[in-house]
Amino acid sequence: MKISILVLVIVFFATSAYSQLFKAEENTTCADCHEDIYEHWKTSMHGRSTAESDILYKAMMNWAVEDTKGKAKKLCVQCHTPYQALKGQEGISESDLGRPVDCVYCHSIDNLQQHPRFSMTYYGPRDNTEEDFHKIEKREHFSDGSLCLSCHAELKNPKQLSVCVTGDEFAERPDQSKTCQDCHMPQSKDDEGGAYSGHGFNGAHNPEFLHKSLTLKTSKTDSGIEVVIINDKAGHSYPTGSPLRQVILKVVARDEKGNIVFENWKENPLEEDKQAVFMKIFEDEEKYAPVPPWRAAGVKMDQRFKAGETRRLAYNMPETAKEVTVKLLFRLAPLPILKRLGIDDPYLKKAHLIDEQTVQFN
């Protein structure tokens, strides 16, 4: 399932009531009545998709812009600040161009082949004729995941290489029972106990969401341990989306006295134990790797877990090993890249724990 984000026709309705709502800064008008949803959204990555609010995006965009003599900028803003695509349209002011992926944008999408239509009608998962402050009309793309795929399906670089392909990964998932919202917009309750769809769009920026999001099993073998990792909780590859993401396995064995007698890597997992690094790495025309996505001509390595995949890794242990600890870690970006970008943010530098297990030998 691939949906082009290129837009065919632009239909634009400007009513006076529309102007009031749409012009309101920061979506506070939606927040007046949809307070809980607004609070979720504000702290989600959709609420922080702009260069001003996401330092990693800002730094990568600056790098890409510098490296492509300005060409990349037009591409990046398409999904991160989607109002940019409406530049020059009647009713769109300079300040709108910096808006993130917001309420008005998503809920004004009447038809995925067109830009949003801004009016006093908001589209959603259900019809509702009782609300008269604004009209509500049902559209299937709020329920089947295709709205999400209008930005998340695929991103191609200037050499037409796919650098992010959550769409294909999702289409090929073996367990088709869940859609994007089931996992990323779980039901929440308001103060009166009313249920609504959560708008936190939980993902890699939420350590709680990542916790136990892969199944990890460790067992003893004749010569050491076997580690089994299963991607049974994501509806796409793990990690998905941004090729910055890294999942790393760390194995440490200690003897009776607590001294380390085995470590699968100390400084650089890619050099010391390549099978323990689950990520995608790009190469350029000369096969030099790693290169950033906009320079990539091919994929050098893709060790991410496919949806439903089971991966087995074996490690031999020295006779002296008494206790082996296995940790699965998630990094939002590799440390050398953060260093290159001059980012010293403790949160971005942290390796988040997906799961951990300990095995004893007697």
Rule CB under 6 A: which of 199-228 touch ligand HEC? 199, 201, 203-206, 210, 213
Note whether 75 binds ligand HEC by CB under 6 A. yes
Within 10 angstroms of residue 307's Cβ, the number of other Cβ atoms is 21
Please say which residue, 122 or 315, places its beta carbon nearer to ligand HEC.
122
Least distance in Å: CB of 213 to ligand HEC? Answer: 4
Does 115 sit near ligand HEC (CB under 6 A)? no
Q: Which is nearer to ligand HEC, 161 or 183 (CB)?
A: 183
Closest CA to 348 of 271, 276, 269, 246: 246
CB distance 153 to 165 below 8 Å: yes
Out of 18, 84, 92, 236, name the contact with ligand HEC by CB under 6 A: 236
Nearest by Cα to 275 from 308, 315, 309: 315
Using the rule CB under 6 A, is 246 a contact of ligand HEC? Answer: no
d(C-alpha 118, C-alpha 136), whole Å: 13
- Which of 3, 85, 86, 147 forms a contact with ligand HEC (CB under 6 A)? 147
110 binds ligand HEC (CB under 6 A): no
Query: Do 352 and 210 meet the contact criterion of CB atoms below 8 Å apart?
Result: yes
Residue 57 engages ligand HEC in binding (rule: CB under 6 A): yes
Radius of gyration of the chain (CA): 23
Minimum Å distance from CB 335 to ligand HEC?
14
Residues numbered 262 to 321 that lie near ligand HEC (CB under 6 A) are 294
| 126 is a contact residue toward ligand HEC (CB under 6 A) | yes
Contact in structure between 31 and 38 (CB atoms under 8 Å): yes
| 147: CB partners within 8 A, 6+ apart | 106, 109, 112, 141
Residues that bind ligand HEC (rule: CB under 6 A) add up to a total of: 86
Which range in 242-250, 252-260, 267-275, 282-290 contacts ligand HEC by CB under 6 A?
242-250
Please tell me whether residue 131 binds ligand HEC under the rule CB under 6 A.
yes
Select from 10-18, 85-93, 119-127, 278-286 the region that touches ligand HEC (CB under 6 A).
119-127
Q: Find the binder of ligand HEC among 3, 85, 86, 101 (CB under 6 A).
A: 101
- Those residues whose C-beta lies under 8 Å from the C-beta of residue 14, and which sit 6 or more positions away, are 90, 91, 118
Enter the tokens of residue 95: 């300040």
Which of 117, 233, 306, 327 contacts ligand HEC by CB under 6 A? Answer: 233
User: Could you tell me which of 263, 271, 348, 297 has the C-alpha nearest to residue 161?
Assistant: 297
98 binds ligand HEC (CB under 6 A): no
Question: Token digits for 75?
Answer: 């591409």
In the block, residue with structure tokens 């020295």: 318
List Cβ neighbours of 52 (8 Å cut-off, separation of 6 or more). 58, 98
Question: Rounded to a whole number, what is the largest CA-CA distance in the chain?
Answer: 78
Show the site string, 10-49: x = touches ligand HEC by CB under 6 A, - = not: -----------x-----x-xx-xxx--xx--x---xx--x
Residue corresponding to tokens 């590859």: 237
Check: CB of residue 199 under 8 Å from CB of residue 185. Answer: yes
Assess 118 for contact with ligand HEC (CB under 6 A).
Answer: no
Min separation Cβ 210 and ligand HEC, Å? 6
Q: How far is the CB of 280 from ligand HEC (least distance, A)?
A: 11
Question: For residue 69, what are its two tokens?
Answer: 């003599």
CB nearer to ligand HEC: give 204 or 276: 204
Interface residues for ligand HEC in 168-197 (CB under 6 A)? 170, 178-185, 196-197
Q: How far is the CB of 308 from ligand HEC (least distance, A)?
A: 10
